[in-house]
Amino acid sequence: MNKNICIFGDSVTRASFIKDSWVNLLSQFLIKKYSGDDIEVFNLGINGDNSKDIVKRFGLEAKCRKPQDIIFAFGINDSSFQDEKQTVNEVSFKKNVLTLIKQAKKITDKIYFIGLVLGHKRWLEAGLMKFIMPSYSIQKAKQYDSIIKQIAQENNCIYIYLMDKLDDNDFIDGLHPNITGHKKMFSEIKKYF
């Protein structure tokens, strides 16, 4: 049996410099679990992406890979703000999540949403982070995570809660999980596969 899994997300999904990222660990886990089957996991995380970006590229990238499972792992960049302006406001975010579900359901019924993760605000306010990136807050991240959960559940998609599964020490910079953080994410995510 051939099984393609597409994972759409941002830099936490991409995890460019983490060999044992949650995506790589999930891929290894599924290859072992379904040994004998042809399993292909496509990491379609792009640094800086938000829901608006994923809506733009989803159709083409999913169509050419014909996935049996689609995993969405985005929202933290949507929840960010710069100069007090939301990157993607809540109304647009809801619309984007619904658009992605509608498009994904044309391909498969196996649709997953990975909940958001974010470290303590002291990490986000320290050092260079505040000068080179938009601002992030736990409160906003929780609001956007709640939106994902509600819409996913209303549309018979699987939502995987992660918000309090990582500790402050599980982040490189408060935004991006380190190796330990990715392993903790994977240990929660694999339960649904």
CA distance linking residue 148 with residue 142, whole number of Å: 10
What are 34-74's pLDDT values in tens digits? 987 899 999 999 999 999 999 999 999 999 999 999 999 99
Per CATH, which fold does 2-192 belong to? Rossmann fold (3.40.50)
The DSSP symbol for 157 reads -
The DSSP symbol for 116 reads P
What are 127-139's pLDDT values in tens digits? 445 555 678 888 9
Residue ranges of domains in the chain: 2-192
Helix (H) or strand (E) holding 5: strand 2-9
Residue predicted with more confidence, 160 or 86: 160
Confidence of residue 32 (pLDDT cuts 50, 70, 90): very high
Cβ contact 177:117 at 8 Å: yes
